[in-house]
Amino acid sequence: MSRFEKRAVFVLVVIFTFFLVFSGCQSQNPRPAMATPTQVQADAYALIAQARAAYRAADFEKALELARKAATADPGNNTAWDLYRQASIAQAANTYLSTLPKHRYRLPVEVFLRDRVNHTKDWFVIDVREPDEYAQGHIEGAINIPLRELMKHLDELPSSKTAPILLYCHSQKRATHALVILHELGYIKAYNLEGGYAAYVNWLRHNPTPTPGPTPTPAPEEPDYGC
C-alpha cells in the first residue's frame, strides 16, 4: 500500500470514529421534544381547572393569575380568556366591597352645604342626569355629564385621583353606578350626594342655608386604605 493510500485510510478511520462518537452523544442527550398542540391545550385546561377552583374558593387574585397563565399558554382558548375577564371583575368587585365604609360613600346634604360655605373641602360636583333635567335646576357649579356618557368625558375629571368628587342624580340611583365606576378607576374620594338632587331641594326648602361659622364640618366616613 502506498503512502498516499495509507493516509487516505487513516483519514477515513478518523472520520468514521468521529461520526460514531457524535452519534452516541446525540443518542445520550436528545433534544427536548417540542410541546404538541394537544399538550398545550391540556396544560391550559389544567390551569383553567385550578383557576376555577380558586374562583369558587373566592381567591380571585389566584384565579386571575392562573387564568392569565392559561390564556398565555393557549391564546386561542376562549374559555381561558372568559375566565380571566370574570376573575378580573370579581377581584375588582371584592376590593371595592371589602373597603366599603359604613355610610357607603354617601355624603349628607347638610355636610356638603357646610363644606361649601366654610370652604373646608372643595368638592368637584358632577350631575349625571340628562341635559334636560340639568337645565330645569341643578347645584350651582356642578358640571353635567350624563351617566351613559361618563367614560367619554374622563378628561374633564380632576387630574388627582384623591380629589373630592361629589356625584348626584335625581334620587341617587344613577349616581351609584357612576360612583362604582369612578372608584374602580382609582378616584378613592368620590361620593354620592345622599338622596340626590331631590333631597338637596327638599333640605333647602325646610332648612335655612348654612352660614360660615366655627362649627367644624362633619367628615364623611372613609375606608381604611392601610396607609
Where does a domain end: 98, 120, 144? 98
- Do 65 and 135 reside in the same domain of the chain? no
- Do 119 and 162 reside in the same domain of the chain? yes
- Do 133 and 113 reside in the same domain of the chain? yes
Provide the whole-model pTM.
0.64
- What's 194's domain CATH number? 3.40.250.10
- Do 150 and 196 reside in the same domain of the chain? yes
Task: Pick the catalytic residue from 47, 109, 157, 169.
Answer: 169
Q: Provide the number of structural domains found in the chain.
A: 2
110 close to 195: Cβ distance less than 8 angstroms: no
Q: Examine the residue annotation and report whether 227 is marked as an active-site residue of this protein.
A: no
Q: Give the model's pLDDT for residue 1.
A: 55
Q: Give the model's pLDDT for residue 224.
A: 43
Taking CB atoms within 8 Å and a gap of at least 24, the contacts of 150-158 are 150/178, 150/181, 151/181, 154/185, 157/124, 157/182, 157/187, 158/124, 158/187
Q: Give the model's pLDDT for residue 210.
A: 78
Task: Report the alpha-carbon distance of residue 189 to residue 169 in Å, rounded.
Answer: 18
**Domain annotation covers residue 79:** yes
Q: Give the model's pLDDT for residue 197.
A: 97
**Domain annotation covers residue 216:** no
- Do 192 and 151 reside in the same domain of the chain? yes
CA distances from 14 to 10, 19, 23 (A): 6, 9, 14
The neighbour count for residue 120, using CB atoms within 10 Å, is 12
- Do 92 and 123 reside in the same domain of the chain? no
- Do 164 and 201 reside in the same domain of the chain? yes
- Do 70 and 89 reside in the same domain of the chain? yes
Where does a domain end: 52, 82, 98? 98
- Do 163 and 80 reside in the same domain of the chain? no
pLDDT below 50 — which residues of the chain? 4, 6, 9, 11-14, 16, 18-22, 25-27, 216-217, 222-227
Q: What does the pLDDT look like over 100-134, one tens digit per residue?
A: 777 778 999 999 998 888 888 899 999 999 999 99
Query: For the chain, what is the mean pLDDT?
Result: 82
178 close to 137: Cβ distance less than 8 angstroms: no
**Domain annotation covers residue 164:** yes
- Do 191 and 119 reside in the same domain of the chain? yes
Range of the domain at 117: 106-206
